[in-house]
Structure 1
Amino acid sequence: MFQRLSVLFFMIFTAATLLTACGSSSSSPWTRPTTQAPASEAPGSLDARGQWLNTDPQTGVQTDALLNQPGDSTGTFTPPPAAIPMQNLPPVKVALLVPLSGQGKEVGEAIMNAAQLALFDVGYDAFELMPRDTHGTAQGASAAAESAARDGAQLILGPLFADEVRAVKSVANRYNLNVIGFSTDWKLAGGNTFLMGFMPFGQVQRVVDYAATRGIRNVGVMIPDSEYGQMVYSAFQNRAPVVGMQMTSSMRFTPGDKNMTDAVKQFSQYDLRHTSGAPAPFEAVMIPAGGTDARALANLLTYFDMPPQQVRRIGTGLWDDVTLASDKNLQGAWFAAPEPSALYTFNTKYRNAYGITPPRVATLGYDAAALAVVLARNGHMTQGAPAFDWNSIMNPNGFAGLDGIFRFRPDGLVDRGLAVLEYRNGQIVVVDPAPKTFQSPIQQSSVIQ
């Protein structure tokens, strides 16, 4: 039997107000601020399954964990008149659409495995997870969603790829189902579709805000010639002036390019610095690239007399990769991502169960499944049905999971509370902890032009 995770994995935060649906807009969701209500109270902790529930010592009935319901100013929970014993909760069916064959098979299997671990940890005996193979294709995802809906699914988790999510949206609409997908294609969010994927917008804001508090004012930006690169560039451009920061140099590069020497030389103003003694044009450089590209660019910066001790490297969640932490040209680098402690515990548990280390995105499966269980359980205890409706998913106080606190915005995108991490002597260390509540405004959206 698996040992319960002993860190804060999942709870639903207090709900002061339920949001009403907002109208759609044809403009980019990143050109307007988040309209969610602020959270009203910080969460407690959850060390084991059900600990957050109030239990009646006479009846053994566990009641809902929602505090500060509308009209309740005391901050205490009043159980519903007919609270249901845990063992008598009605059956719930939730579909999990992931590639179990074809493109993305390994990732899909890991997400499914993580979701099953969540069911064990959070607990709901009558909760049925319905895995469906999307085969990594839009056609397969559509068929999987159709099959799950016909078999009684009340909520859809997944799918993984953008084309799959696009195909599933229309099926879910026909069956009046909400979708919590794992894609990072922000254009697919909205209506009945929420996206949990790790997106760069909040990551950029978080690390830029932190860098500003540490005195960084002038930044160079290396921009991958990709949609991801453009998103990061736009996010930086729109956040930097807010915190008194400016971009003093920029360069574009093709991911995977083996010959970036001349471009980096020009970007770093190497000739000017060495002929006139001019100072470096920036105190930090943002590199929204991972793997070999991050290593190559950092190495070239050092080669052109911009070692990390003099010019700080700043990245995105792509740097949530311990294999980069030992690179001497990335020492001291900052990036925003979930705190690693819960991930470490999860990875250990996953290895004990399945014999391998899961891919980073597996935590999405855990958090999505745990969210579905909590919404189902709370809904049955308070309103007699799973709380899979738009308003319940849109709880403005958010939820807490393996990857920290998160909440869904009216446009279907996710806000996350992130830590700022640093590469230090081969380790990833926390230099600014993640927030534990959405009481303070964080992770406001950046703007895409």
Structure 2
Amino acid sequence: MTHKKNRPALTWTFIGLLAATAVLGGCASVETRPTAATNASNPLIAQAGHLAREHAGLSGAARSDNEQQINRLLGQLDDATLSREAAALPVGDPLYNFMGKVMMQRGLPLPRPFDRSSDWNFNAGQRPPAEADGYRPPMKLAVLLPATGASAVPGASVRDGLSTAYYGESRRRPDILFYDTGSNAAGAVAAYDKAVADGNDFVIGPLGRDEVSAVFAKGTLPVPVLALNRGNVAPPSGNVSFSLTPEDEGIAAADYLLERGAKRVLAIGGSDDGQRRAIAALKERLAERGAQISDTIGEGTADLGPFVAKPGGVDAVFLAVKGSAARTLIPKLAIVGLSDKPRVATSQLLSGTGKPEQDRVLDGLAFPSESWTSGGIRGLPPAVGVAQTLPTARGPGAARLFAFGYDAWQLSAYLERLATRPDAFINGATGVLRIDGGGSVLRTPAWSTFSSGVPVPLADAARR
């Protein structure tokens, strides 16, 4: 089940060069921001608090619906009231973690750390104390990734990104073992059990949604996990999920549009599952903040006029489509007067692009991107240069997964600081990373657009 680093010489030689560059560029660190606290009360808090107290006893759809109701109540609070009421809650109040997550999503400082149970144990394996910047990696690290089967190619990109970050660290590093999960839930559970039996004190992975769900469905886990996806089962207490899912992009797009005053958003999407999931997440987040999707229409819709002419109109557009479809849609948006409205797409926009003479029509269209690919990060060579030598980082999808793996290592090394400090975050390769009270990594992406048909960082994108 286990395998060590039997990689082609070219790949590992290049990863070694990347590692050396990372050392010269400086080690990753967790940053902090100042906090503040005030006191007051609001009747919405009483309603949300009642639902929060019932939350632990719910499961499945009822649990998801309950969380949505809480978020919609909290969404009615302005920033000042939300901050004030969160600071007034006593330690241990079940509503605090919900309020803290909403505050994180709005970029507000938390008044105190999240309330966490004793399951959040950071002394496993008798780790040495944390260093000044919060660096405290495991003693023996297991990485569960597919090395065979249908998911082996994306697994290789994640593996090489993680390995680059790991070998780029000049301080104490854990022993590391890679376990092949294959591409199914049974393989992931077997790999986890083998990692536990081998004495690892922390696990990164698995990668697939079904595989993550299967591991989390075991309940209380003897060795904590940083899962590389968001499954259908919430992380057991003391465990974390990190993902680049379509839902995350829908949420990020909603926040982007809300910050720009959008209230009625026209959503245009394709037929694949990821596109539908992104639109569903956008709809839910908008509803939490009193906004809405005015209509959801297919990417092949010929005439957009009737949808714009409805009472209330349209003040923003969301595109869950690939680049070829977007190139067709942009002129249609201009015809109905939407070219000067905020327009946001998912990262799928990059699929089918790459020819500036064709992509000029996409100029001004915003989309979430990774910090590494949009502008670069400290300690890691530019994405273009890495892609020229390393196939597992070549192309938009592979580069994204490479950055994802890079950040997985950083999260494992700084998890204690992120989980125990209300002001801690990582400027990662995929964006700004934090951990909420429920064990989910919240990612604020970088934002990009097209200029003269070429993707470039978006200068006025809000960075939290």
Q: TM-score when scaled to structure 2?
A: 0.64
Distance 2:355 2:234 in 1: 33
Secondary structure in 2 matching 1:333: coil
Is residue 207–residue 228 contact of structure 2 (8 Å, CA) maintained in 1? yes
Q: Deviations over 1:87-123 (max 9, x none)?
A: xx99811111111111111111121111111112223
Structure 1, 3-12 or 361-370: larger mean CA deviation: 3-12
Partner in structure 1 of residue 305 of structure 2: 268
* SS across alignment from 1:372: helix
Q: Taking structure 1 as reference, are residues 237 and 112 closer, same or farther at Cα in structure 2, changes over 3 Å only? A: closer
Give the alignment of 1:248-263 within 5 angstroms.
248-251=294-297, 253=298, 261=300, 263=301
Change in 2 beyond 3 A, CA 1:214/1:167: closer
Answering whether residue 128 of structure 2 is matched by residue 64 of structure 1, we say no
**Equivalent position SS for 2:449:** strand
Two-structure CA RMSD over aligned residues (Å): 4.2
Does structure 1 conserve the Cα–Cα contact (< 8 Å) formed by 2:137 and 2:412? no
Q: Distance in 2 between matches of 1:223 and 1:4?
A: 41
Q: Which residue of 2 aligns with 1:380?
A: none
- Within a 5 Å distance, the mapping from 1:24-423 to structure 2 comes to 25-26=58-59, 27-28=63-64, 29-33=67-71, 34-36=98-100, 38-39=109-110, 64-66=131-133, 92-170=139-217, 173-174=220-221, 176-185=222-231, 187-200=233-246, 203-211=249-257, 218-224=264-270, 228-240=274-286, 247-251=293-297, 253=298, 261=300, 263-265=301-303, 267-269=304-306, 281-298=313-330, 301=332, 305-306=335-336, 309-310=339-340, 313-319=343-349, 323=353, 326=356, 327-339=359-371, 340-342=374-376, 345=381, 347-348=383-384, 350-351=386-387, 354=390, 357-358=393-394, 359=398, 360-375=400-415, 387=416, 393=419, 395-396=421-422, 397-423=424-450
Distance in 1 between residues matched to 2:326 and 2:458, nearest whole Å? 20
Read off the aligned partner of 2:381 and give its amino acid letter: T
RCO higher in 1 or 2 (8 Å CA, sep ≥ 6)? 1
Contact 2:263-2:292 within 8 A present in 1 as well: yes
| Structure 2 counterpart of 1:78 | none
Query: Is the CA contact (8 Å cut-off) linking 2:213 and 2:231 kept in structure 1?
Result: no
How much does 1:335 deviate? 2.3
1:12 and 2:30 correspond: yes
- Any conservation in 1 of the 2:324–2:352 contact (CA below 8 Å)? no
Alpha carbons 1:314, 1:335 under 8 Å: kept? yes
Distance 1:328 1:279 in 2: 32
> In 2, Cα distance between the equivalents of 1:296 and 1:193?
44
Partner of residue 106, structure 2: none
Q: Percent identity?
A: 21
Secondary structure of residue in 1 paired with 2:179: strand
Opposite residue 341 of structure 1, the aligned amino acid is G
Shift of 1:417: 2.4
Q: For residue 306 of structure 2, what is the amino acid of its counterpart?
A: Q
Kept after mapping to 2: 8 A contact 1:394/1:407: no
Which has more helix, going by share of residues? Answer: 2
Note closer, same or farther for the CA distance 1:392–1:203 as it changes in structure 2 (3 Å cut).
closer
1:134–1:140 Cα contact (<8 Å) kept: yes
Distance 1:11 1:243, change over 3 A: same
Supply the distance in 2 between the matched residues of 1:206 and 1:166 (Cα, whole angstroms): 23
Identify which range, 341-350 or 398-407, moves more after superposition: 341-350
Q: For residue 161 of structure 1, report the CA deviation from its aligned partner.
A: 0.6
Name which of 401, 425, 432 aligns with 2:460.
432
Matched position secondary structure for 1:129? strand
Query: Is the Cα–Cα contact under 8 Å of residues 146 and 171 in structure 1 kept in the other structure?
Result: no
Q: Judging changes above 3 Å, is the alpha-carbon distance between structure 1 residues 173 and 123 closer, same or farther for their aligned structure 2 residues?
A: farther
DSSP-derived class of the 1:398 partner: strand
Conserved 8 A contact 2:220-2:236: no
Where structure 1 has 5 or more consecutive residues not aligned to the other structure, the ranges are 42-60, 68-85, 254-259, 376-386, 437-449
Deviations 1:169-200 (A, max 9, x none): 356845x1221112244644443542211245
Q: Tell me the number of residue pairs that the alignment of Structure 1 and Structure 2 aligns.
A: 362
